[in-house]
């Protein structure tokens, strides 16, 4: 059996079965999803993290590229009770270490009790516990990954749906899932995907009906240019955001954000709409949250489990953001109408800008 060690920040070293060789380090987190492992493993929001699957068998319906959210695996390593051969071979081909035959119930309980923590991984024929500990010693806190946006963003502008005749969206790519673009294209929008550090001039060149800040990994305060873009355009252009995007919008408009103990990750997070009283189930993946929205924003939806903000709207500005993933891959699809609301906000602004006939 290939040796595999997981060194935890609390001093313990777990031993498992190596399924894909290599060394890695990152923030240890878990997801409660029992489907959607392909979507989770290709979600850019897991950059610089080590992903633990709480569901015991990962890979029971194979690996299909059409389900990918990006063109590569983003977690630095993956842990499970058992990986199938399909998933193990995929992770090995991606150069991502994988370990199974772990008591993932204990791992998840450890994270829930102690919070997300640093870890080091070593997998291979001749690795030792010391190799995993060495990786742990080199592991940085998520807030210290100040350039993480460059690891997950496009390098230059990409345009999708050029033949569409709906609204024009400037999507600032801080680690956007592909299904966000797909959801906008399905509503006849033209989507200009901009780098995470796009300039004001870059956005002006698009002349968007909506400025959309995507999901992504890490601490929102490290996305300084995206914050600047919201500050610059919010008075004249509708602004939307998902996940990290909600946090960035809050930071830009006088709010504050904070790191959570272990975050929200999975497809079963209940969200309460404060106006309607309706509860919907949502897909989530984030380790930071809005602490205070500030005077320009109001909280419209909260997480049923811990009351953290899940939806924020503008008070005097056209702003709508969601902490969860309305595009919902792999599901559920309770909140897909968010994209309709975003584009309707832009359409309403356009109608107001048209002068009335004499």
Rounded CA separation 150/152 (Å): 6
> Would the annotation count 216 as a binding residue?
yes
Concatenated DSSP letters of 132-188: HHHHHHTPPPGGG-TTHHHHHS-SS-EEE-TT--S-EEEEEESS--HHHHHHHHTTT
Tokens of 242: 């998902």
Tokens of 103: 């008591």
What does residue 296 show for φ and ψ, rounded to 5 degrees? -95, -5
> Would the annotation count 287 as a binding residue?
yes
Give every CB contact of residue 40 below 8 A, 6+ residues apart in sequence.
31, 33, 46, 51, 53, 285
Of residues 65, 66, 84, the one with CA closest to residue 20: 84
325 classed as catalytic: yes
Rounded CA separation 49/45 (Å): 9
333 classed as catalytic: no
Pairing verdict, β 319-322 and 239-242? parallel
Q: Which of 145, 196, 296, 325 is the catalytic position? A: 325
Q: Are 300 and 337 in contact (CB under 8 A)?
A: no
Question: How many residues does this entry show for the chain?
Answer: 358
> Would the annotation count 285 as a binding residue?
yes
Pairing verdict, β 279-292 and 256-273? antiparallel
168 secondary structure, DSSP code: E
Q: How many other C-beta atoms lie within 10 A of the C-beta of residue 96?
A: 22
243 classed as catalytic: yes
> Would the annotation count 45 as a binding residue?
yes
> Would the annotation count 247 as a binding residue?
yes
Q: Which of 243, 251, 264, 286 is the catalytic position? A: 243
Residue positions forming the annotated binding site: 45, 216, 218, 244, 247, 285, 287-288
Active site residues: 243, 325, 327
Residue ranges at the known binding site for L-glutamine:
45, 216, 218, 244, 247, 285, 287-288
């Amino acid at each position: 059996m290939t040796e595999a060690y997981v060194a935890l920040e609390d001093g313990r070293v777990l031993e498992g079965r190596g399924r894909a060789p290599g060394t890695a380090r990152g923030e240890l987190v878990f997801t409660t999803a029992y489907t959607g492992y392909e979507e989770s493993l290709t979600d850019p929001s897991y950059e610089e993290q080590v992903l633990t699957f709480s569901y015991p068998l990962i890979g029971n319906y194979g690996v299909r590229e059409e389900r990918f959210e990006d063109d590569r695996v983003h977690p630095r390593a993956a842990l499970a009770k058992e990986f199938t051969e399909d998933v193990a071979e995929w992770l090995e081909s991606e150069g991502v270490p994988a370990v199974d035959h772990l008591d993932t119930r204990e791992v998840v309980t450890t994270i829930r009790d102690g919070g997300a923590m640093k870890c080091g991984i070593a997998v291979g024929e001749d690795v030792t516990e010391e190799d995993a500990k060495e990786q742990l010693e080199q592991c940085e806190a998520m807030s210290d990954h100040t350039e993480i946006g460059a690891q997950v963003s496009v390098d230059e502008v990409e345009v999708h749906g050029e033949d569409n005749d709906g609204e024009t969206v400037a999507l600032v790519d801080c680690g956007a899932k592909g299904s966000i673009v797909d959801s906008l294209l399905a509503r006849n929008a033209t989507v200009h995907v901009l780098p995470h550090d796009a300039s004001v001039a870059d956005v002006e060149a698009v002349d968007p009906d909506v400025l959309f800040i995507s999901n992504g990994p890490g601490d929102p305060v490290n996305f300084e240019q995206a914050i600047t873009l919201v500050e610059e355009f919010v008075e004249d252009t509708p602004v939307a955001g998902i996940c990290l995007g909600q946090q960035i919008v809050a930071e830009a408009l006088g709010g504050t954000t904070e790191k959570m103990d272990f975050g929200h990750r999975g497809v079963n997070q209940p969200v309460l709409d404060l106006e309607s009283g309706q509860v919907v189930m949502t897909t989530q993946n984030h380790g930071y949250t809005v602490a205070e929205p500030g005077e320009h924003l109001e909280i419209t939806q909260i997480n049923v489990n811990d009351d953290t903000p899940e939806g924020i709207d503008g008070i005097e500005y056209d702003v709508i953001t969601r902490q969860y993933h309305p595009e919902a891959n792999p599901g559920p699809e309770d909140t897909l109408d968010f994209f309709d609301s975003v584009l309707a906000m832009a359409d309403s602004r356009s109608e107001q800008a048209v002068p009335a006939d004499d």
